Amino acid sequence: MSSIFSMWEAVAQAPVSFGHLSIGAAIGACLGASTVYVGVLYYVTPKEHRHGWSRDDPAVIRRRALAVSAVTVLSPLGLAAISAPDVLGKTVLEHMGLSVFSSLSHALKASLIPLGLNVALFLGPLIQRYLDGDDDDGSLSSISSPYFDWLFLRNIVVAPVTEEIVFRGWMVPVLTPIVGSGGLLCVTAPLVFGIAHLHHAIEGVPLPVVLAQFGYTSVFGGITTYLFAATGHTAGPILCHAFSNFMGFPPFNEISGHAQWVTPTAPVFFPGTLHYLLLRNYAFDCWSVLVSSVVRSAVQF
pLDDT of residue 287: 45
Lowest mean pLDDT among 32-46, 139-153, 177-191: 139-153
The question of whether 197 is a catalytic residue gets the answer yes
- Give me the DSSP letters along 259-286: HHHHHHHHHHHTTHHHHHHHHHHHHHHH
Range 44-67 average pLDDT: 78
| Distance from C-alpha of 110 to C-alpha of 114, rounded to nearest angstrom | 7
Return the closest-CA partner of residue 221 out of 169, 268, 263.
169
Return the closest-CA partner of residue 179 out of 15, 30, 14.
30
pLDDT of residue 120: 77
State the chain's mean pLDDT as an integer: 78
Residue 252, pLDDT > 70, answer no
Question: Rounded to two decimals, what is the model's pTM?
Answer: 0.80
Lowest mean pLDDT among 21-25, 73-77, 170-174, 195-199: 195-199
Residue 231, pLDDT > 70, answer yes
pLDDT of residue 2: 57
Range 268-287 average pLDDT: 47
Return the closest-CA partner of residue 166 out of 107, 261, 227, 238.
238
Range 284-293 average pLDDT: 46
Residue 281, pLDDT > 60, answer no
The question of whether 164 is a catalytic residue gets the answer no
Q: Are 217 and 197 in contact (CB under 8 A)?
A: yes
Return the closest-CA partner of residue 75 out of 61, 90, 95.
95
Q: Are 276 and 223 in contact (CB under 8 A)?
A: yes
Residue 99, pLDDT > 80, answer yes
Residue 209, pLDDT > 80, answer yes
Residue 149, pLDDT > 70, answer yes
Provide the pLDDT confidence category of residue 295 given band limits of 50, 70 and 90.
very low
Residue 275, pLDDT > 50, answer no
* Catalytic-role residue among 95, 163, 233, 241: 163
More confident residue, 60 or 157: 157
pLDDT of residue 278: 45
Provide the pLDDT confidence category of residue 5 given band limits of 50, 70 and 90.
low
| Distance from C-alpha of 209 to C-alpha of 195, rounded to nearest angstrom | 14
* Catalytic-role residue among 95, 197, 233, 241: 197
**Phi, psi of 102, deg, nearest 5:** -75, -25
